[in-house]
Each structure stands twice: as structure tokens, then as C-alpha cells.
Homo-oligomer: A and B are copies of this chain.
């Protein structure tokens, strides 16, 4: 931001409608690849970031969280709620929006919807991890749980990891049908499956992305053969896990940010000193990712503030190119900073 930027009182806002248009205009796979590149960049400069834990306000029905972070030049935060009972009332379980600001001035520079953007960054982050962890030549992925995140996962893995075959399973066949319909004509060979066991057959990557808030066992130990990469998305808050503990014990486990994943991830089932590797170390080349063809790798993903930051940065960088935003008059900007009152009174005369 420079002094030449005159309208600092105006904050660009990306609405849900604009976000959909950005995705459509640029193309889903290109957006996913773009966000993945920003996530990878930000993971590489991991040590620059403030890694504040999220600030949660809990109630009987759900939680509202603020997730701030900063790289020292740009500050960002996401507002996100989680209300499992919303679904029954025809509402979203999770809604989100986010803000980026200039650290040097404290002025907000972007306000964006983040329900769609969170779906995109979650899939992009999964694919970045798989790029380093999946077995060489992987082309087939099982997706267990065919809800809101499934198509984003499929397309991110196609764009970033070269996945062309999908094996889908959901306890609700309607979800699988929805997913197949949505992915039609996008270059996948798709096999609907009637069990998790059938879905994982011949898949080199297994994505678990189910929604039930409970200690569930989506995958049992006998289903996981040597050499696969498990992309575990759905075990993402206290009390919500997807994998049998024995799978964890056979896997090399990779996480985003250890203190958060110990509480929220599938590894909440393990002792607090169980060894894990943070993905940024692998991406930077400090620590090996996949070592051989027999190793089982597990990305225990819970979603971290830096990924939201990366996604917001990506969207900010598309504004000029797409023009898909509106300016909000959000920051009071009197000509004379000490004369806030006079500014209001002059508005009366102007109006």
C-alpha cells in the first residue's frame, strides 16, 4: 500500500456472489492450484508468522471463533462458527468471513466471504500435503464422505497431484450421486462404492471427510494397505475423529501445527508425545516426507489460520484482474484527524 492509494477509507468486499464468479471466471482447478501455491509459499516462511491459537466462544449450541495471524506485513483473521444443529433448521453448520489488513497502518484492505473460500483452501492444503506425501504415480483416490467438501478435494487432487480416478463412498447414497453429478465432464473416471472397504480397493490415496461429530471409525486398520497416503480431513475438533487408533500407530503422521492438532485432530487419540512432523518442515525440505513405497503416510488436517491467510492473499491478488468486488465505506477518514465531530456535521450540510 502506498500513499498514492487514496481511497483508504474504502475496503474491497468479496461477497458470496463475487466469490462464485471469481471461481467460475478463473476456473475451479486454476483457483485451487493458485491457492495451493500461496499455501505452499506461506508454509515455506512458517517461522515469520504469529501462530496465536484460535479464540473460541463456546455456547450450548456451538462455537464462534476468531483465527488471527500475521506475517509481519499483512495481518489476517477469520471469523468462523460451528453449529451442528443448524443443518436441521436449514442453516449452514459453518459460516465464515475474513479480513486482511496492512500491518504498517492497521487499515483493513480486504473483507471476504469465507464459506466457499474455506472449502477451497481446505482442499488446496490437502493436495499440497499429498504432493509431498502420496506414493509416486498415484492416480486413484478414495473419498469417504461425499458431502460439501468432496468435489473440492477431488478437483484439487486432480489439478495438483494428477488424480484421475475416484472411488466414492458415503453412508447416504444421495451424497455420492450428488458428487458424481457435480463432477460429470471434469475428466474423472468415477466408481461409486457401497462400502468404505470397496472404496479403498486399489486407491493410493484415501481421503476421509465425514461430518458426524463423534469418535467414529470410518476406516478400520485392515482396510489400509501399505504404501497408501491417508488424507484425514473430518477429524477436526475435540471429540470428532475418523480413524481407528491402530491406523495412526502404523502411519507416519504429518500435521499443520502440532499444538492445535493434538487437541483437534485424529491424534487426540494418541499420547501427547507421539511423534509427528509439521508439513512446513517437509515443504521446506528440512525433513523427509515419503521415504519409500511401503510407508503409510497420514496428513491429519484440522485447518490452520495461515491457510486462511494464504487464501485471502490469493483472492486479494485476483481483485484487480477480475474486478469482482465492491468497495465498502468502512473507515472514517476526516480531512483533519482531530475533527471527527466536524466531519459528521459537514455530512449534514453535504447531504
Contacts and interface: CB of A to CB of B under 8 A. Distances in A.
Interface of A: 3, 8-9, 13, 15-17, 19-21, 23-24, 28, 50, 52, 55, 57, 59, 61-64, 66, 68, 70, 72, 75, 77, 79, 81-83, 86-87, 89-93, 95, 97, 99, 101, 103-108, 113, 115-116, 119, 147-152, 175, 178, 181-182, 328-334, 336-345, 347-348, 351
A331 B343 CA distance: 32
9 contacts: A16-B331, A21-B347, A52-B55, A55-B68, A83-B104, A113-B330, A113-B332, A175-B338, A178-B339
B68 A66 contact: yes
A87 B337 CA distance: 7
A179 to B, nearest CB: 8
Contacts of A151: 341
Q: How many copies does the complex hold?
A: 2
B16 A330 contact: yes
A8 B50 CA distance: 33
A115 B351 contact: no
Contacts of A87: 337
Contact of A92 (B3, B24, B333): B333
Contacts of A81: 101, 105-107
Contacts of A28: 344
A3 B92 CA distance: 13
Contact of A178 (B70, B101, B338): B338
A72 B59 CA distance: 7
Contacts of A344: 20, 23-24, 28, 116
Contact of A338 (B59, B62, B148): B148
A303 to B, nearest CB: 15
A91 B101 CA distance: 14
Contacts of A86: 105-106
Nearest to A346: B20
A210 to B, nearest CB: 11
Given A113-B330, A344-B20, A347-B17, A57 B50 contact: yes
A91 B105 contact: yes
B57 A55 contact: no
Given A50-B57, A79-B108, 8 more contacts: A13-B328, A15-B329, A62-B106, A79-B99, A97-B331, A113-B331, A115-B331, A148-B334
Given A106-B81, A328-B15, A342 B64 contact: no
